[in-house]
Amino acid sequence: MDLQLSGRVALVTGASKGIGLAVAATLLDEGAKVVAVSRSSSPELDKLAGAGLVHLPADLTAAEAPAQVVNQAVEIFGGLDILVNNAGGPPPGVVLPRQSFLDATDEEWRAMFEFNLFSAARAIRAAIPHLRKRGGGAIINVSSVNARQPSPINVDYGAAKAGMSNLTKELSSEFGPEGIRVNTVSPGPVRTPWWTDEGGVADMIAAQAGTDRDSVLNTVVPEMMNLTTGRLVEAQEVADAVALLASPRSAATTGADLAVDAGFLKEI
């Protein structure tokens, strides 16, 4: 199916690895011109760089950074059609998972909201005038199942993502009449470096459970989280959902939340 993304300009944050890298690669494969934003690049992202993809280094927790990268994207490719707010997770200096709400300080809460919510709000504020000039466009905010299913081990992260989902609903109503569609994708546990890197979450759980990393990823976590599919989500599966929502083929979809969660969420 042609997603009709050829020639469209997309900005993807958190694009050096995991979901963001998969999104950038997928949009590029679909013919879009991509501005990939992250604190630093990666060998995988460097391989994608060329006429159709440019990397911009930025710390999106800096208040001025989101607007700067939006404006740079417009300067590089002449406009903006798609904004993917994917950057998120634990900001520098914050370690997840925790054991309790009581483990997070005020400063850690501020850092979590700066990275996971405020940076996206600032990018959206900067992007909307450019989307208006194009006659509309698509904003996809990467939220989380924790926005709908609270967890004591990620309480500040979940609260920030709940704010992201709420913001998305408001934006979709306010700007939908102008052809600007705003949706969320809410991943469940995704097989990304946050889980798989040495010293990552899989290793932490393995140490607690007295097992190994592969067993945690393939058996322990799917059983612990009661994943219907029996496995973690792949980053490409999230990227495919993002690409579909970015496409004009989703012209009637706005204000929606698409869970790509291996069946984690089971409520109606």
Residue spans of the domains in the chain: they are: 9-190+234-260, 191-232
Q: What does the pLDDT read at residue 153?
A: 84
Dist. CA 13–CA 120, nearest whole Å:
9
**The one catalytic residue among 115, 157, 195, 264:** 157
Across residues 246-256, what is the average pLDDT?
A: 98
Across residues 16-20, what is the average pLDDT?
A: 97
Cross-strand bridge partners of residue 237: none
* Distances from the Cα of 198 to the Cα of 31, 204, 214, angstroms: 35, 9, 12
CATH code reported for the domain at 9-190+234-260: 3.40.50.720
Q: What does the pLDDT read at residue 92?
A: 87
Catalytic residue flag (residue 157): yes
Q: Count Cβ atoms within 10 A of the Cβ of residue 46 and give its class: 0-12 exposed, 13-18 middle, 19 or more buried.
A: exposed
Q: What is the tens place of the pLDDT at every residue in 182-209? A: 999 999 999 998 889 888 888 988 998 8
Type and span of the H or E element at 77:
helix 65-77
Q: What does the pLDDT read at residue 152?
A: 84
Q: What is the tens place of the pLDDT at every residue in 139-196? A: 999 999 999 999 888 899 999 999 999 999 999 999 999 999 999 999 999 999 888 9
The DSSP 8-state label assigned to residue 102 in this structure reads G
pTM of the predicted model, to two decimals? 0.96
Q: What does the pLDDT read at residue 51?
A: 96
Range name among 76-80, 101-105, 131-135, 158-162 with the lowest pLDDT average: 101-105
Q: What does the pLDDT read at residue 97?
A: 83
Q: Which residues contact 254 (CB under 8 A, 6 or more apart)?
A: 172, 176, 181, 182, 183
How far the first Cα of the chain sits from its last, in Å, is 30
- The closest of 2, 26, 1 to 12, measured between CA atoms, is 26
Q: What does the pLDDT read at residue 218?
A: 95
Whether the per-residue pLDDT at 96 is higher than 90: the answer is no
